[in-house]
Structures are given as structure tokens and as C-alpha cells.
Amino acid sequence: MMAGTILIVDDEVQLVRHLEYLLKSEGYQVTGVHDGAAARRAAEALYPDVVLVDLKLPDTDGTTLMTELLRKNPTAGYIIITAHGSIRSAVEATRRGARDYLTKPFEPDELLVAVRNAIRDRIRDEEINVLRQKGRGPYSRPSTSRMPAGVPLEYPSNTMQSTLMRAKQAAGSDSIILLLGESGSGKDYLARYIHEHSRRVDGPFFAINCAAVAPELAESELFGHEPGAFTGARGRKRGLLELAEGGTLLLNEVGELSKPMQAKLLTFLDTRSFTRVGGETHIPVNARLIAATNRDLEKEVAENRFRSDLFYRLNVLSIKIPALRERIEDLPILVREILAHLAQEMVFHEVPDPEDEILRVLAGYHWPGNVRELRNVLERGVMLSGSGRIQLSALSLEGHHENWSYTVNFPVGSTIHDVTKEVKRSLVNEALRRSGGSKQGAARLLGISRHAFAHQLKTIDTTE
């Protein structure tokens, strides 16, 4: 159950004691007061999640008090407690911001349901605030579509089929997963794929880019903070770990976390609970963690930039996402998938058609930026070509040479064997350059098997 702080404001001492006992037995933090003045002081100190307010108080009326508290804590859930004769006033209070009202005498279950709903609504509002910052900040909640772009159901390449099979196996448990791969290779999409195939599919999915969060704000982003925890912390904020309750949180670029944050993350992984910044209460969270990085964490550990104990804790099950140049067979599927999404985003009547020549040129490129670069290239091509066929000139692949040429030299004293060997060496080096150093990719570009390519490397001297 999600922890919550509740403030009760009622002048009936016995009723307040009874409600305190009931709510504390359900795991809530509860404070009871008996007048408006005490309520204002308590609300300032506690910044409660839910406020139960009686309409009739010794020094004020409940609606006026609620309006005052709303200005300082607008995301709290306000529940009006009223007698039979003041239902009209309770309805007016709901119009002015109360989430619910209870008529005395009420059953315990009525109260508990109202409180749970109020806390659920507050969490939902906080999630919406996070979503509004998608694209502006380091964290986001990806689209709720069942299959994100870049992760179709099937891939022709053996390497990606193996990766997806391992991901499906990992999705069946709640163990921590470590995703490894170059920048832009699709680690965030694979994390979403795992979430969509897990028992947590109906829960929330959040992602935070650890490299994009200032070190001094990282703790607040992950764990949240209490009012007054630091300058500018006017209200309580739930962190992404808490918001991901029942779902999945992706820690992207986890290798960029500072050493102090690494220690705090390790503590959470060991206890599955945390305290907000400036708080004292331990908050248990049932969220599945997926970590991702483009760094070699074993090397980072060896060079004392990453904690070894955290690495071992994260490395329960690791999945390597192949670079795009290592899975060129998948490129036609990726191109059509990305173009379909671009057509939807740009409101085209039809999906741009990639001709075979376009696919051939794309397959010959080495893709240092992986799938992310592929999307950027296609988006540029679509923008410059319009909704029809993509123009080859619009792709503007950096470093791509459509027509590679080589001048054959025949020095005096050379044999046909010497000249042929030199041509082969140049072809192999060019293939390696285009494939970003991938021998498998170079073999594919040359139209030979990996074994034949390995044989060529043995018979010639390369500059790889």
C-alpha cells in the first residue's frame, strides 16, 4: 500500500481519536487537530496528502478553511465531514475544490474508500505533471501504445531475435535487468518491450535519463522531497520511484550517477524502501527497476568511477542490444516502421515509400548513431521530400560516398597477384569503414560469408 499523510480537523475529540486509530492501522501517518488555527499550523508543517475537514469548527467554517489550505497545497485531497442538515454546504464545498464528502455517522469502509481515492487522484495528478514535462526534462513516460517504434514483433536478424527472446524471458520475473548497448541502439525501447510483456503491463512505466539530471537534483527526482527540504521546496513531491509503484522505472544511463547517488540507489535496492529528501519515514515501493548504460561498467568499476557492489546488484541479468550496423538485415523493417510513425506525426495521407535504391544506400552506411540516427535521417528526408517518395539527395548521410572508386596502379615489377591483393585490401578496408569496424557488417556489404571474410583478412594486410 502507498504511504500517505492525513490531517483530520474536527472539534469532536472522540471522533478524531477513533479516526486516527482506524487510519493508522491502515498504515497512514495521521495527525488530528480540533480547530482552524491548529489546522493551519499542522498543514504548514505536514503538507498532507489528504485533509478531512468538518464543516463546523469553533473558530471558522470548514469550507473557508479548505479554501485557505487549497491555495498552499492544491494537490491534496480534501474530504468534507458533514452532518445530515448541512449536505447542501458540503455540495458547495465540492464545487469549490473538495474531492468528496462524508455524512455523519459514516461507516469505516466509507472513510477508507474516500481516503484511498483521494490519494490515488493525487498520485494521478502528479503523474500528469511529470508527463507535461516530457520532452522538456530528463524524465518521461513513453506512449501507452503496446509496441513502441523500433520494436516490431519480428526481426530477420539472428542477433535481434536472440535479444528479444532473452528480453521475453526476463519479462517473466521481477529481477533487475541491465541493458547494455551503444547510444541510440534502442535500450529505452527494449525496456518498454520488457514492461509490455511483464505482469506489470497495466502499471505505470517511467524513464529517467540520469545523464540529464543535475547531481544536486538527482535524489529529489528519484526519491522525492518534503516541504522545506531545500530552498524552493515549497511542497511535497513524490519521486519517480514512488510514482512507478506497481510498474516499471527505467534508469537510463545509470553509469552517469554520482558516487553518493550510487550509494543511495544501492540502499534502495537492498531494502526496497527509501526516505524522501528532508523526510524521516521509510516508504516501501513495489516497482521493477531496469537500468541501462552505454558505458562499460566493468571498466568503470576497475577505474573506481562506479561502485562494484552496485554493479553486482544491477547485473543480475544483462541484455546486450546490438548496434544497427550489426543487424543491417533489420533495416528495411525499421525504415518502414519509422516512416509509418513519421507519417502519423506529420499528418501525411500516405506513408512515404522507400525505394530499393534508398534501402541499399541506407544499408551501406555505418550508422554510428544507430537507430536514433536512422530516425533523424529519415525525418530529414521526409521533410525535404514531402509525403511522396523520398529523394536520395534529401538523406544527406554524413561521410557516405555513393560511388566509391579506386585507381589501380601497375608498377614495374608487379604481378597480377600483387595488384589483385591491393584491390582486395582496399575493398576490405572500405567495407570495414562503412560498417563501423564490424566484420559481420563488412562481410555483408561485400556479399560474402563471415568465414570467407575472415579468410580474406588472413591473406591480406588491412589497416583496420
What torsion do the CA atoms of 426, 431, 433, 435 make, to the nearest 10 degrees? -170
Residue 137, CB-side half-sphere exposure with 13 Å CA sphere = 17
Query: Which of the four pLDDT bands, split at 50, 70 and 90, describes residue 265?
Result: very high
Residue 142, pLDDT score: 45
Residue 342, pLDDT score: 84
- Where is mean pLDDT largest: 53-62, 397-406, 434-443, 448-457? 53-62
Domain boundary among 91, 125, 159: 125
49 and 116 together in one domain: yes
**Residue 20 maps to a domain:** yes
d(CA 445, CA 430): 10
- What's the CATH code of the domain at 44? 3.40.50.2300
271 and 345 together in one domain: no
Q: Give the residue-averaged pLDDT of 300-315.
A: 95
d(CA 435, CA 429): 10
DSSP collapsed to 3 states, 98-109: CCEEEECCCCHH
- Coil, strand or helix: which one is 6? strand
311 and 340 together in one domain: no
Tell me how far CA of residue 407 lies from CA of 6, 402, 419, 422, in angstroms: 81, 16, 11, 11
Residue 260, pLDDT score: 93
What torsion do the CA atoms of 230, 236, 241, 243 make, to the nearest 10 degrees? -150
**Among 184-188, 269-273, 291-295, 353-357, the least confident range:** 353-357
**Residue 82 maps to a domain:** yes
110 and 148 together in one domain: no
Residue 405, pLDDT score: 60
How many other C-beta atoms can be found within 10 angstroms of the C-beta atom of residue 340?
A: 14
Q: What is the CA radius of gyration of the chain?
A: 30
- What's the CATH code of the domain at 312? 3.40.50.300
166 and 312 together in one domain: yes
CA angle 196, 199, 200 (to 5 degrees): 65
**Among 28-37, 151-160, 205-214, 317-326, the least confident range:** 151-160
Residue 132, pLDDT score: 54
437 and 289 together in one domain: no
d(CA 195, CA 168): 10
Structural domain range at position 337: 326-394
Instruction: For residue 153, count CB atoms less than 10 angstroms from its CB and return exposed for 0-12, middle for 13-18, buried for 19 or more.
Output: exposed
172 alpha carbon, distance to own chain's centre: 19
Query: Which of the four pLDDT bands, split at 50, 70 and 90, describes residue 129?
Result: low
Residue 153, pLDDT score: 52
301 and 341 together in one domain: no
**Residue 399 maps to a domain:** no
Instruction: For residue 462, count CB atoms less than 10 angstroms from its CB and return exposed for 0-12, middle for 13-18, buried for 19 or more.
Output: middle
Grid cell 517504434 is found at: 149
**Residue 403 maps to a domain:** no
Evaluate whether 335 touches 404 at the Cβ level (below 8 Å). no
Report the number of distinct structural domains present in the chain: 4
Residue 111, pLDDT score: 92
Fill in the DSSP letter of residue 95. Answer: H
**Residue 97 maps to a domain:** yes
**Among 304-308, 371-375, 380-384, the least confident range:** 380-384
d(CA 392, CA 292): 35
**Residue 290 maps to a domain:** yes
Q: For residue 405, what is its C-alpha cell?
A: 572508386
Residue of 343 and 8 predicted with greater confidence: 8
Evaluate whether 8 touches 22 at the Cβ level (below 8 Å). no
d(CA 66, CA 53): 7
102 and 52 together in one domain: yes
d(CA 78, CA 69): 9
Q: Give the residue-averaged pLDDT of 274-288.
A: 89
Tell me how far CA of residue 327 lies from CA of 316, 322, 386, 435, in angstroms: 26, 7, 28, 11
Max Cα–Cα distance, the chain, nearest Å: 113
- Tens of pLDDT along 407-456? 676 777 778 887 788 888 878 887 877 666 778 777 877 888 888 888 88
**Residue 94 maps to a domain:** yes
Q: Give the residue-averaged pLDDT of 90-105.
A: 82
**Residue 404 maps to a domain:** no
pLDDT > 70: percent of the chain: 86
Q: For residue 125, what is its C-alpha cell?
A: 495528478
Averaged pLDDT score across all residues of the chain:
83
Q: For residue 442, what is its C-alpha cell?
A: 563488412
pLDDT > 90: percent of the chain: 38
Evaluate whether 393 touches 408 at the Cβ level (below 8 Å). no
Residue of 227 and 258 predicted with greater confidence: 258
Query: Which of the four pLDDT bands, split at 50, 70 and 90, describes residue 366?
Result: confident
- Tens of pLDDT along 190-232? 999 999 999 999 888 999 999 888 888 899 999 988 887 887 7
Residue of 17 and 87 predicted with greater confidence: 17
Instruction: Give yes or no for residue 250 having a pLDDT over 80.
Output: yes
- Tens of pLDDT along 135-185? 444 555 444 334 444 444 578 888 898 999 999 999 999 999 999 999 999
